[in-house]
Amino acid sequence: MRKICVITGTRAEYGLLRNTLINIKKSSKLKLQLVVTGTHLSEHYGYTVNEILEDNFEIDEKIPILLEGNNTSNIAKEMGLLMFELSQAFERLKPDLILILGDRYEIFAAAATAMSMNIPIAHISGGEITEGAIDEQIRHAITKMSHIHFPGAQIYAQNIINMGEESWRVFNVGDPGIENIKITKFLNKEELKRQLGIDIDEDTLLITYHPVTLEINELSYQIENLLNSLNTINKKMIITYPNADNGGDYIIKKLQEFKQSNSNVHLFPNLGILKYLSVMKLCGAVVGNSSSALVEAPYLKIPAINIGNRQKGRLMADNIISCSNKREDIIEAINKSLSSEFREKVHNTKSLYGEGNTSKEIVEILENIEIDDKLLKKKLVWS
């Protein structure tokens, strides 16, 4: 059987990988190997490795790497620690191929380790553009290290080809977030109230704001304006923690202070994929700078406010209102998103990220693609 080693470091990434993991596990031609690292193993971020275990996946390696604080030097050290540990894990597991998703520094470390050990790499969600974050550089670097590409939209597939990748390596399988929505049996309003203690309605805001890593000097200004705007709007708020990026601890501290002074705020380290999507389906609008507002929210026909430059360059559906980090712009965007006129417009939103068959297509390709010299020896090609 072909051994497919999947590396996951965050709750959001695991949520997108989950269906593919299920289908690899079901395959008679593939053997799943699972390496868990990053915030999954941190109490601070909710110890989300428990979600993986609850889904009945066997974990082959747990690699804790998070140091105290998430500044730039610690992130570089964490990458080094992970590469050291992964090199030993890969020696033990001897995977035929590694499968990774996205553009975080843990995934870059995994790709670099596999590349140096001549292990072929399959990468999900390459070719996307996010000009405001260091993820942009990481994502494209992973693309150039990878041998098989699974972008989420045709324009992203073309971006990968434009980077000199051979077209036969690129498979437009759609975004895994759409598949999650298609197969999820959502929790209803009463079930969410029992689990979260919150009545979710069309005046509820679902909020996630991640550090904009190429604008870290502006972080205090950005968070102050966001929280002032939310305080002015004064709606019921469900807020989830940011990623473990440089600046993440600062955002968490400010969110905790905001919660203490505002009874409308409900703050969670993470909700898990089921509760998160169920809240999104029922809420009035999604606010912040998370990619979920651009991928899942359009499919669910929920208004989304995309703040600042973190997602600049991504495909934007008709449900999305982009605004600056200025307080008055955020307030105007939220008020517009909750208006009856905009909600009516959002009902006609079309998803830009595929039809939701992502995991089955990925697994079929992993089962059948030849792992040979042609795959391993990459060429720089421009047509």
Asked if residue 146 and residue 123 are part of one domain, the reply reads: yes
> Is the separation of the CB atoms in 372 and 195 below 8 Å?
no
Asked if residue 37 and residue 138 are part of one domain, the reply reads: yes
Give the Å distances, CA to CA, from 209 to 116, 159, 212, 303, 310: 34, 27, 9, 16, 10
Total domains present in the chain = 2
Residue 238 lies in a domain: yes
Range with the lowest mean pLDDT among 67-71, 103-107, 314-318, 321-325? 67-71
pLDDT of 383 higher than 80: no
Residue 381 lies in a domain: no
Report CA Rg, the chain: 20
Distance CA 34, CA 22 (A): 12
pLDDT of 72 higher than 80: no
Residue 351 lies in a domain: no
Distance CA 20, CA 24 (A): 6
Residue 341 lies in a domain: yes
Residue 179 lies in a domain: no
Neighbour-count burial for 281-305, b at 16+ CB within 10 Å, e otherwise: bbbbbbbbbbbbbbbbbbbbbbbbb
Asked if residue 142 and residue 22 are part of one domain, the reply reads: yes
* pLDDT score for 46: 85
The 8-class DSSP code of residue 218 comes to G
Token pair listed for 9: 């470091």
Measured over the CA atoms of residue 179, residue 180, residue 184 and residue 190, the dihedral's sign is: negative
Asked if residue 364 and residue 342 are part of one domain, the reply reads: no
Model confidence pLDDT, tens digit, residues 192-219? 999 999 999 999 999 999 999 889 899 9
Residue 152 lies in a domain: yes
Model confidence pLDDT, tens digit, residues 214-263? 898 999 999 999 999 999 999 999 999 998 888 999 999 999 999 999 99
* pLDDT score for 302: 96
The mean per-residue pLDDT over the stretch 349-369 comes to 92
* pLDDT score for 166: 97
At 6 the three-state DSSP class reads strand
Q: Which CATH number is 43's domain given?
A: 3.40.50.2000
The mean per-residue pLDDT over the stretch 54-66 comes to 94
pLDDT of 70 higher than 70: no
Residue 383 lies in a domain: no
The mean per-residue pLDDT over the stretch 171-190 comes to 93
> Is the separation of the CB atoms in 320 and 306 below 8 Å?
yes
Q: Look over the chain and give the mean of its residue pLDDT values, rounded to a whole number.
A: 94
List Cβ neighbours of 105 (8 Å cut-off, separation of 6 or more): 75, 78, 79, 138
Strand partners, 121: 98
Give the Å distances, CA to CA, from 72 to 47, 67, 133, 339: 23, 11, 13, 41
Asked if residue 106 and residue 156 are part of one domain, the reply reads: yes
Asked if residue 371 and residue 321 are part of one domain, the reply reads: no
* SS3 assignment for 7-40: EECCHHHHHHHHHHHHHHHHCCCEEEEEEEEHHH
Asked if residue 170 and residue 310 are part of one domain, the reply reads: no
Residue 144 lies in a domain: yes
The mean per-residue pLDDT over the stretch 289-306 comes to 94
Asked if residue 164 and residue 203 are part of one domain, the reply reads: no
Asked if residue 145 and residue 71 are part of one domain, the reply reads: yes
Asked if residue 43 and residue 106 are part of one domain, the reply reads: yes
Query: What's the whole-model pTM score?
Result: 0.84
Distance CA 233, CA 348 (A): 26
Asked if residue 101 and residue 56 are part of one domain, the reply reads: yes
Q: Where is 179: in which H helix or E strand?
A: helix 176-183
77 falls in which pLDDT band (50, 70, 90)? very high
* pLDDT score for 12: 86
What values do phi and psi take at 363, rounded to 5? -65, -40
Dmax (CA) of the chain: 61
Asked if residue 361 and residue 285 are part of one domain, the reply reads: no
The mean per-residue pLDDT over the stretch 96-106 comes to 95
Percent of the chain clearing pLDDT 70 (strictly above) = 99
Domain that holds residue 327: 185-346
Model confidence pLDDT, tens digit, residues 268-279? 998 988 999 999
* pLDDT score for 69: 67
* pLDDT score for 213: 84
> What string of DSSP letters covers 221-249?
HHHHHHHHHHHHH--EEEEE---SSTTHH
